[in-house]
Amino acid sequence: MHRLPKSLILFVTSNLTILLCLGLLFWGKAAADSRVPAGGGLTLTLIGQYETGIFGESAAEIPAYDPASQQLFITNSANGVVDVLDISDPTSPALVTSLPVSPFAASPNSVAVADGLVAIAAEAADKQAPGSVIFYDTAGTFVDAVTVGALPDMVTFTPDGQKVIVAGEGEPNDAYDNDPLGTVTIIDVGAGPTRFAGGFAANILDFTSFNGGVDPAIRIFGPNASVAQDLEPEYIAVSPDGGTAYVTLQENNALAIVDIGTESITAVLPLGYADFSSGNHRFDASDRDDAINIANWPVFGMYQPDAIAAFEIAGTTYLATANEGDARDYAGFAEEERIKDLTLDATAFPTSATLQLDENIGRLTVTITEGDTDNDEDFDALYMFGSRSFTIWDSAGNVVWDSGDEFEQ
């Protein structure tokens, strides 16, 4: 859920720390020269810092940079605003103003900016109620507010800046007795000066057309939930030609394909699993063995990507995902359990007593919604959250390359 812009990386604790790579300070510079420097990497130097004065309350989370005004727009959920920083002097970022999301919504989750227009995705006080996208110009003047699906978690512009795409996660309440539809909203904001007059039209897409069934490898597992309720759009990447949006469905371990031209969801694709039992998918499974033990283990990892980016090479679109993993953990439904607390099938796991020790994989958290393949109340396979990797996919959802255990190493 945490977005990093192309021009900078933000590290957030109690304050906003701006790490600016001098050669990649502005979007235009980054777009003009994406070559890797000699030596194979980038050197990041801390040159500026801004403190919100608020600790541990999401007071500085999602950034968007506007090169024309040299301003940084930062979601500040603690105060219900987007803070606007002047970074024309990156060594001394300064707060210019704050853009409120009230009275239309309660808390901002994401922000994007293009051609002088700022789009803020914000959830309602009741997270299961419809959210809003609030628009300002970069000078801080209110433009419009548009109703979207429940819990809008990410907002982005198409490359031409004329459409805004919103991922509406539609999470259930804690009791899991109110589960709104997951949505993808397309907002036409037009081009030129007329866009600042507002009056934007929105088309809220949902997944009800898939209620008849999806690929069984797609995780549909919420109690009493339809497919349309269970699918939870998380993050969006738009193809370089602006024709297609690729939407991660993190909890579902799936990817939705949206035709932006026809404003329709055309497919929902399963992403599959990383096999940690062999090959270069290895990881350190225990925090209780007082050692680094990166090894293969008899576990599958659900990719479950959060962030996604689209790029093009030789006319072919590829996708890059950060395979964070995420579990559902509510008072009314929870899927997490440590392996040491499960009954493992003796045939599938003949050394289960050893495996389930804390110093092996006993403390690893897995889902209890998958793995009992023969429905005999023991686990024949184990599925953990995320793959501890990033992956390059083709536009049909096939793995082209995966980083394997490179992060772990």
DSSP state of 106: S
Query: What six digits make up the tokens of 152?
Result: 């809008």
Name the residue among 335, 340, 380 with its Cα closest to residue 360: 340
Could you tell me the maximum CA-CA distance found in the chain, to the nearest angstrom?
69
H/E stretch holding 28 reads: helix 27-32
Please state, in angstroms and rounded to a whole number, the distance separating the CA atoms of residues 162 and 160.
6
- Residue by residue, pLDDT tens for the chain (409 residues) are 433 333 333 333 334 444 333 333 333 333 444 455 666 678 899 999 999 989 888 899 999 999 999 999 999 999 999 999 999 999 999 999 999 999 999 999 999 999 999 999 999 999 999 999 999 999 999 999 999 999 999 999 999 999 999 999 999 999 999 999 999 999 999 999 999 999 999 999 999 999 999 999 999 999 999 999 999 999 999 999 999 999 999 999 999 999 999 999 999 999 999 999 999 999 999 998 889 999 999 999 999 999 999 999 999 999 999 999 999 999 999 999 999 999 999 999 999 999 999 999 999 999 999 999 999 999 999 999 999 999 999 999 999 999 999 999 9
User: DSSP letters along 173-199, please?
Assistant: -TTSS--PPPEEEEEE--SSGGGGG--
Domains of the chain: 1-60+85-94 (no CATH), 101-270 (2.130.10.10), 276-409 (no CATH)
Cα 127 versus chain centre, distance: 18
Which tokens in the block code for residue 262? 């026809």
Closest C-alpha among 337, 200, 343, 212 to residue 268: 212
Distance of CA 121 to the CA centre of its chain: 14
Q: Nearest Cα to 124, choosing from 112, 143, 107?
A: 107
Q: Identify the pLDDT of residue 107.
A: 98
